[in-house]
Structure 1
Amino acid sequence: MGVFTSESDYVSSVPIGILYKAIVEDGNIVYQKALPQFIERAETLEGDGGPGTIKKITFVGGLGSTKQHVDVVDKENYVYSYSVYEGIALSDQPLEKICFEYKFVPTSEGGCIVKSTTKYYSKGDAEVSEEYLEGGIQRSDGFTKAIEGILLANPDYDKDC
């Protein structure tokens, strides 16, 4: 099995606690609002949102779904990680799983930097193309940007969800 890694830093004007809460704690609601063109439904199948929780994301237009296993939820240090172990996200490449880790770091301007690391675990000796890795970075940054957009447009999102 090979491991291929991509990393990106997304700078957001949204305060660290708000962006972390939206992505980690309120994701099942916020994802659908931020990405209605892609996400039909986000739901928790098992667990309470902490490590060991199983989530399912269903995509619009019958494109399929993914299942995720929550690996780390560290609210004190603003770290969140999960693994995609089943579904459409694994069908583009010969992959066993994809692991995502997000570290949120505050900025002096009051926003935060979302440092994302994605590890792609290939089946056997299969390679993962640079184009695919670059696409993963674009998807990760696009996801964060969409969440940020909802939060900036709805500064009282806690009350709206």
Structure 2
Amino acid sequence: MGVFTFTDVYTSTIPPKKIALIVDSHNLIPKLMPQSIKSINIVQGNGGAGSIKQINFIEGSQLSSMKNRVDELNKETFTYKYTMINLMDKFESIACEVKFEPTPDGASKNKMTNTYYTKGNVELKEKDIKAGKERALGMYKVAEAYLLQNPNAYA
């Protein structure tokens, strides 16, 4: 098994308190991204640490579904850790940590760290990593756009 870790940092004009709407992502993301996500269901727990969420993709996607285990959800430090489980043949799991930090101007600096645990001798290709980063960032950008268009949401 191989272990590969990558960290990305990006900024947002949205303050951490609002961008941390990740706690309600199971309700919001399918509404914002119906072209790719059919639904997100909590199949175990109440949405907090220890919960398991199943993401169901639209027909014709590379995966029909995948599960995320919530490892930590800290609303005070705006930290969200989760592990993607039951993935494709290449991965045992992918551990993700998202941290939203306030900036002096009221915006946020967002740090995403992903650790890939591959099966066997699987080597990660640059294009696979890039595609995963683009999907994750795309989801955050869709949420950010929603918050900019709906300033009273998640206030």
The answer to whether the Cα contact below 8 Å between 2:2 and 2:122 also exists between their aligned partners in 1 is: yes
> Which structure features the higher share of helix residues?
1
Distance in 2 separating the partners of 1:3 and 1:118: 10
**CA deviation map 1:37-70 (0-9, x unaligned):** 1111011111111111010111112530111110
Give unpaired runs (5+ residues) of structure 1: none
Q: Is the 8 A contact 1:6 1:134 kept in 2?
A: no
| SS, match of residue 145 in structure 2 | helix
Structure 2 unmatched ranges of 5 or more:
none
Distance across 2 between alignment mates of 1:156 and 1:33: 17
Query: Which residue in 2 is equivalent to 1:41?
Result: 39
Give the length in aligned residue pairs. Answer: 153
The equivalent position to 1:128 in structure 2, one of 124, 131, 136, is 124
Matches of 1:30 and 1:101 in 2, distance apart? 20
Q: Aligned with 1:26: secondary structure?
A: helix
TM-score, with structure 1 as normaliser:
0.88
Cα drift, residue 157 of structure 1:
2.2
1:138 corresponds in structure 2 to 134
Task: State whether residues 40 and 53 of structure 2, in contact with CA within 8 Å, keep that contact through their aligned partners in structure 1.
Answer: yes
**Which portions of structure 1, spanning 4 or more consecutive aligned residues, are displaced by more than 4 angstroms?**
none
Aligned to 2:112: 116
Asked whether the equivalents of residues 40 and 56 of structure 2 are also in contact (C-alpha less than 8 Å), the reply is yes
Root-mean-square deviation over aligned CA pairs: 1.5
Identical residues among aligned pairs (%): 37
Letter in 1 for 2:127: E
